[in-house]
Amino acid sequence: MTNYSTDILFAQKADEQDNLKLYRNAFYFPTMHHRPAIYFCGNSLGLQPKKAKEIIETELEVWRNDAIEGFFTGKHPWLYYQEYVKPTLAKIMGCLPHEVTVMNTLTVNLHLLLMSFYRPTAKKFKILMEAGAFPSDQYAIETVMKHFGLNPATAIIEVAPETGEKILHRNAIIECIEKNAQELALVLIGGIQYYTGQLFDIAAITQAAHKAGAVASFDLAHVAGNVPVQLHEWKVDFAVWCSYKYLNGGPGAIGGVYIHEQYATDTRFPRLGGWWGNDEQERFKMEKGFKPKACASGWNISTTQVMNTAALLASLEIFEAAGMDTIRKKSIALTGYLEYLLQQVNHIPFEIITPAAPEERGAQLSLFFKENGKAIHNKMMEKGIIVDYREPGVIRIAPAPLYCSFQDVYAFYKILRNKF
């Protein structure tokens, strides 16, 4: 869909033809000023699936009626609760079911996976990441370096955009990997850069990292549920993500982990153990000797957060029905429409710093304001448009395709055109 128009009839027709339009009613929208808000903040927190309450209440009922026996009874025995999300997550992340699991939260999982995969030596000890990575990633790498007695100032390589640019080109990343190959132990890149909304070439970065003899790892917080990926096919070593953004798992939702089967099925591969990662057949013998499951769940440590995972399960039912390819197709059209309309707004000075090519972005467009960015964000909120602001000067707009409509985008454009 490329023949966009500023006529409201375009948006109305696009919504009529939308294959995902029925899923809009599967979510609760917040209200502002006594009317439904225009919600473009799914890149920070996805909306609540209406079925989440039902699924959580089912587990509350099991807890109420069966208590400890809930681990073995009911529709979803708690002993295996992390297993119920695997089939759909595997489709979303482009991997095999035994390569994916849920546990903890994103940064906790990043620390745990670094303990498995980051093995610095006197020669190969450096970690490469994008400059301006999300703070949690920066903190995790910094503190892991210190844990191993290394100096973050010399052991972390940050690859930055060229002077005057905000986009980090693929070739710059690959060239930096090649340049530092002799000392490089691990590459950690955010699949989609949280500030600019740029989608990196995960396959090419992985290939370059492996050629350099380094681990290829990714923070996919802004990718999961947003853009289809093929982690297994691309041979990514490991990835972590949160479930509260595009996956709509709720605030603080359980985190996701992918580990390539080369490592996931190798029970000798090092990891920090806990009894939920131990083989179920051995778990309740309560004996010494950790015997991990031969899958990504062998990295599970503590009892699965049932209520937390239940909320994610409600959202994954929608993803299963909708399909990532259909979601991505609408996302490209919806974000393209937003970009087109923003280009018609000439009385407010801003720059779209997210790449224009659909294959280099997801559902988010980042608008950079040289001045008054925060004030403009606040005015948008006053008008019932929920977006978020990131220093310095960026308003992030993310029309999530499962519940945002073309008429939402048009309404946003109309407010910008008439009110600012």
pLDDT reported for residue 330:
98
Claim to verify: residue 149 and residue 298 sit in the same structural domain: yes
Position 67 in a domain: yes
How far is 104 from 381, CA to CA, in rounded Å? Answer: 32
Q: How does residue 418 score in pLDDT terms, banded at 50, 70 and 90?
A: confident
Claim to verify: residue 278 and residue 366 sit in the same structural domain: no
174: Cβ contacts below 8 Å, ≥ 6 apart: 204, 205, 208
Claim to verify: residue 38 and residue 74 sit in the same structural domain: no
Half-sphere CA count of 87, side-chain side, radius 13 A = 7
Q: How does residue 420 score in pLDDT terms, banded at 50, 70 and 90?
A: low
Position 2 in a domain: no
Q: What is the DSSP string of 26-62?
A: GEEPPEETTEE-EE-BTTT-PPEETHHHHHHHHHHHH
**Residue 345's domain is classified under what CATH number?**
3.90.1150.10
Position 85 in a domain: yes
Claim to verify: residue 215 and residue 339 sit in the same structural domain: no
Which of 267, 294, 365 has the alpha carbon at shortest distance from 98? Answer: 294
Show which of 320, 350, 380 is a domain's final residue.
320
Claim to verify: residue 330 and residue 316 sit in the same structural domain: no
DSSP helix/strand/coil, 356: coil
Claim to verify: residue 140 and residue 160 sit in the same structural domain: yes
Position 370 in a domain: yes
With pLDDT > 70 as the criterion, what percentage of the chain qualifies?
99
Claim to verify: residue 94 and residue 193 sit in the same structural domain: yes
Position 3 in a domain: no
Q: Which domain, by its residues, includes 121?
A: 56-320
337: pLDDT strictly greater than 80: yes
Position 219 in a domain: yes
The predicted-structure confidence for 281-325, as pLDDT tens digits, reads as follows: 888 888 899 999 999 999 999 999 999 999 999 999 999 999 999
The predicted-structure confidence for 338-367, as pLDDT tens digits, reads as follows: 999 999 998 888 999 999 999 999 999 999
What are residue 125's phi and psi, to 5 degrees? -145, -5
Task: Please give the tally of structural domains in the chain.
Answer: 2
Claim to verify: residue 309 and residue 367 sit in the same structural domain: no
**E strands, 154-200, in order:** 156-159, 184-190
Claim to verify: residue 277 and residue 349 sit in the same structural domain: no
Claim to verify: residue 331 and residue 252 sit in the same structural domain: no
Show which of 320, 338, 372 is a domain's final residue.
320
Show which of 300, 320, 340 is a domain's final residue.
320
Q: What angle do CA 149, 154, 160 make, to 5 degrees?
A: 135
414: Cβ contacts below 8 Å, ≥ 6 apart: none
Q: How does residue 17 score in pLDDT terms, banded at 50, 70 and 90?
A: very high
**Residue 250's domain is classified under what CATH number?**
3.40.640.10
Position 1 in a domain: no
Q: How does residue 371 score in pLDDT terms, banded at 50, 70 and 90?
A: confident
- Bridge partners, 390 (sequence order): 394
Claim to verify: residue 352 and residue 214 sit in the same structural domain: no
Q: Given the structure tokens 């000890």, which residue do they identify? A: 125
CA dihedral sign of residues 108, 398, 348, 161: positive
The predicted-structure confidence for 85-114, as pLDDT tens digits, reads as follows: 999 999 999 999 999 999 999 999 999 999
Position 183 in a domain: yes
Claim to verify: residue 99 and residue 141 sit in the same structural domain: yes
Q: How does residue 129 score in pLDDT terms, banded at 50, 70 and 90?
A: very high
Burial class (CB in 10 A: 0-12, 13-18, 19+), 37: middle
For residue 68, the tally of other CB atoms under 10 A from its CB is 9
Over residues 46-52, the mean pLDDT reads 98
1: pLDDT strictly greater than 60: no
Q: Where are the alpha helices (DSSP H) in 127-266?
A: 135-147, 152-155, 170-179, 202-211, 231-234, 261-264
Q: Given the structure tokens 């991997």, which residue do they identify? A: 95
